Structure 1
């Protein structure tokens, strides 16, 4: 093929050519300059951010005899051979198709041989998270202590799937997403070198559509060049990316903010009639509202030129709705976007979305709304004053009745207002025992210790609101099939128990960390000791053991009342049996308690 894609032609050949990864490139260059080269590296990050390119540049730099400041010369025979993929000592492997144990064993055997042409033999394993468990185990020892002239570079887009035993043996570098500004500058440089005419607004559309991937940006640019006959203009870029023009977004936003649902529906239908993608429309609208929010906070937070609008447009848009309304709009957009993922009729969801956005109103009055609507402000103030006056009168009557009431043992009896509504009873806390007992039947101390060690890492995989809810909780029992989490406060327990999304996210996070599916069960901390006691008694852990129809020879301590699973929990009361004869007994109940809670904290005592 005579034609090559832009991302292949303009692939970085030096560290300085890598876009948006200054921290990574500086660290690698300094390691080469100071001869502090590690034996294994892990390059992790989103697609199209330069992981494989950085690995090839590093392979050239460590083997180049004419490198300067850690950069390869790209002129010597070794550099050219690596660039063309013709050097046998630099081996690039796709782990997606070579993920078995036999392939890794072959690498392990060949790594023992010295390089034939270069100074270092470099293995670049792309998408390393696709390796099987057996393949990872086969790689462990070689990765930890490879031969002197061998370097491993692992690249992945999903580092959480790599075993911790592998990550602990490598130097990890995290590649971040390419900013829209960096992608715009790179595309502008390439088009200037190719001497192609372009519209800068079109480049901004492509940069935003790439979503942080430089390779994606160049692929879209390639499509636009082919579509528009070797030119880049705004209309073609919008058509290729499926994006919506800023003027249409502005018109749609104005209509929903002014609660003109019917007009907004017509605008939305016009957008879809032009062949725009529904998902792209929602993403563009979220980005549009985000720009308005930032401009409301401070106009310097956004680059107006990159948005395709003018300063006057943002001044008008920022006054249409307060931030609270914009937050509600973003929430609605996120919900509809999630529901549209698997539908074949996005127009129905978008119509419902348009009506919802047009009906969004501010629920709490803010100073901005009070100044923008002076006519309605007096009515709100009058209603508030009347309500406060009524409450003051009721409080005065209550005080008079309390003062007039006779003393009762030196304490005043509270008098209840005739029209006072009855106190709302606190919602009864309900614990699903049917889910708790299966976990306790197989619970062990080792499982609990393992879960507690991973508890902080599991919390980091959840959202901020979910982490804040679990801040006052801790695991108190664990088995291979589930864990029990106790909450300090009953109302937080009830809130967590009703949140099915929280349960699913916790179970998914634990499965990623432990490799086992575990059911998560919530209990209130104040009810946990009684639940544990009832379980032990119901399963025979608190009863006397018998032998040949006779009572046990020694009193049985209730496994130290199933020693507390966490600090601060009161021990359960043990049942006392009358001693019949003095002989130490380790019956099956004690063994079961030791297995569940650990022998180091289970203590058997004689009465």
Structure 2
């Protein structure tokens, strides 16, 4: 028989086999025992957390004639056929490759017929967020009027892309990331059953690299078994996952603690030369600094199996101040965010290394600043005393000081870091309609909810200002966010695609400007040679600031003031 990957061999076949999702599996088992089975379920959560496995177990449990305590027997013909994937009443569909209206209509038509062999006809639609708008509408009709003995199980990693009308007609279960301890326990069980030796620290490294996904953990374990020579060691796990060895992290952090910038940069070069990936490197260093902090404050909580409790680690924990660790963690976290949006992470890593090795002089600086502050206070006291004496002398001589009128503060010139795409804005305004703008504003909140967390944070500080059939002008409160949005092609594409999905026959290209530039752009456009009806373009057409201001004829007033000075009184009729 051909070799099968571990994640296929050890795929969960019973609810009790699903790791780390006890609340969900117990709820589903109780529903089966009490015969309170819903017509539609939505399983959401990160990859490799058991969504599809739970869907197949649910399909077996509701159709198994020998089900006990909500669990399938896995011995009858029905359970075996569902496990093998050849049961015609249990249909698995990949929405990534079958996302059209015709496929969903075919499912809807087949759902009208009763199951041939099973008690329930079950449709498992994986990656359901990939369905098109038309396909979702076709599926919605089926969920609104469910047929008897038909169950839909929808699985997705991106629930924010599913229409709210679909979600509201399902029972939603959110699968969470699996704890590192649970992954380690499951991996140890598999290796024990397979009669393979291992080191505890190796499983810790693999479990951390999996980031809460059991399928990823099993895939990494599969590689480690092939790479090892009969026994999975920590070194094998480090090589397979691309993680830093504890010795590397000890040396790197020691250089940073000693403010040895050259040594830290040299160590970084060695780590990158050995093939360490930037994101994994930063993650390992973050966890290492976190463990240093925990070992200082609560050493009993740090498990010896982590492998960090080396002599160098304990020495660093004893000598490094907590404030220093806080600074390092902030620097590494900021760099981790920056690396996500760059094609050259080495530069950010080198800058972060210089920051790590340069920080740490807070106490000495604070002492120095304190002494300087005291000197400045004494100097100010002395100057204040001299001023009081001068004022007293002026009062004695009968001279009264006339306070000067406060000068208006000079406005700082605005920075021109972001270049406003004026021509593109004008092209939108030439064809803009008020109705297009109203349509966009009606779905604005839905658009925010359909984006990722990072994209939502960017768009939250903005507002649509004008819309045409082919373009949309979006104004941002802050120039730095506007520039970030303009440089992020994925963000613009997400806005374009989601608006085309929410508004029929409307797919605008977003154009980003700042709020401060919008009034000038409007006035310049309206004062130019453009024949437009203001009320049909701008939603706030009643605002007189849209139109160019007429210069006031104040020549006479100015001349009178020059001749008579303060004796002239200006009165408006």
**For the superposition of Structure 1 and Structure 2, which TM-score range results when normalised by the shorter chain?**
0.7 to 0.9
Match of 2:304 in 1: 305
Greater RCO between the two (CA within 8 Å, min separation 6)?
A: 2
Q: Which of the numbers 312, 334, 337 marks the counterpart of 1:331?
A: 334
2:158 is the alignment partner of 1:183: no
Q: Which residue of 2 aligns with 1:426?
A: 412
How far is the alpha carbon of 1:104 from its aligned partner?
A: 3.4
Measured in 2, the distance between the counterparts of 1:300 and 1:130 equals 47
Q: Give the match for residue 45 of structure 1.
A: 45
Instruction: Report what 1:586 is aligned to.
Output: none
Match of 2:224 in 1: 224
Contact 2:41-2:152 within 8 A present in 1 as well: yes
CA distance in 2, matches of 1:455, 1:249: 46
Q: In the aligned structure 2, how far is the partner of 1:101 from the partner of 1:457? A: 22
1:233 shift after superposition: 1.8
3-state DSSP of counterpart to 2:244: coil
Contact 2:52 2:126 in 1 (8 A): yes
How far residue 28 of structure 1 moved from its aligned partner, in angstroms, is 2.4
Relative to structure 1, the CA distance from residue 481 to residue 236 in structure 2 (aligned partners, 3 Å threshold; closer, same or farther) is same
Q: Is the 8 A contact 2:433 2:536 kept in 1?
A: no
**Shift in Å, 1:216:** 1.2
Q: CA RMSD in A?
A: 4.1
Partner of 2:440: 451
Match of 1:288 in 2: 288
CA 1:168–1:406 in structure 2 vs 1: closer, same or farther (change >3 Å)? same
- Distance, in Å, in 2 between the alignment partners of 1:272 and 1:497 is 34
Q: Distance in 2 between matches of 1:130 and 1:463?
A: 19
Query: What residue number does 1:84 align with?
Result: 84
- CA shift, 1:87, in A, is 1.9
Q: Deviations over 1:150-192 (max 9, x none)?
A: 2122222333444555444433333222221221121122223
Instruction: Name the structure 2 match of 1:253.
Output: 253
Residues 183 and 207 in structure 1, CA contact (< 8 A), matched pair in contact too:
yes
Deviation per residue, 1:499-551 (Å, 9 max, x gap): 456876764553343133442444547x8678656655654557xxxxxxxxx
5 Å-filtered alignment, 1:51-62, equals 51-62=51-62
CA distance 1:31–1:447, shift in 2 (3 Å): farther
Distance 2:236 2:110 in 1: 51
For the 8 Å contact 2:198–2:231, the answer to whether it is kept is yes
SS at match of 1:152: strand
SS at match of 2:495: helix
How far residue 462 of structure 1 moved from its aligned partner, in angstroms, is: 6.4
Q: Normalising to structure 1: TM-score of the pair?
A: 0.73
Relative distance call for 1:513 and 1:197 in structure 2 (3 A) is same
TM superposition score normalised by structure 2: 0.77
The residue that corresponds to 1:596 in the other structure is none
CA deviations over 1:309-350 (Å, ceiling 9, x no partner)? 1283562374382422431244345435654xx56xx8x659
Question: In 2 relative to 1, CA 97–429 (structure 1 residues): closer, same or farther, beyond 3 Å?
Answer: closer
Alpha-carbon shift at residue 74 of structure 1 (Å): 2.5
Q: Distance in 1 between matches of 2:367 and 2:63?
A: 79
What pairs up with 1:571-586 in 2 under 5 angstroms? none
Measured against aligned partners, the alpha-carbon deviations of 1:231-269 in whole angstroms (never above 9, x if no partner) come to: 322122112222221222111111123222333344345
More moved, 161-170 vs 104-113:
161-170
What is the aligned residue count? 528
Q: Structure 2 unaligned runs (5+)?
A: 501-506, 549-573
Name the counterpart of 2:318. Answer: 316
Say whether the 8 Å CA contact 1:265–1:354 is kept in structure 2: no
Shift of 1:11: 1.1
Q: Deviations over 1:379-428 (max 9, x none)?
A: 433222223344555666777679877466xxx32599xxxxx9653234
Q: Does 1:519 align with 2:510?
A: yes
Shift of 1:33: 3.2
What's 1:564 paired with? Answer: 540
Report the Cα offset of residue 41 of structure 1: 2.3
Distance across 2 between alignment mates of 1:4 and 1:350:
41
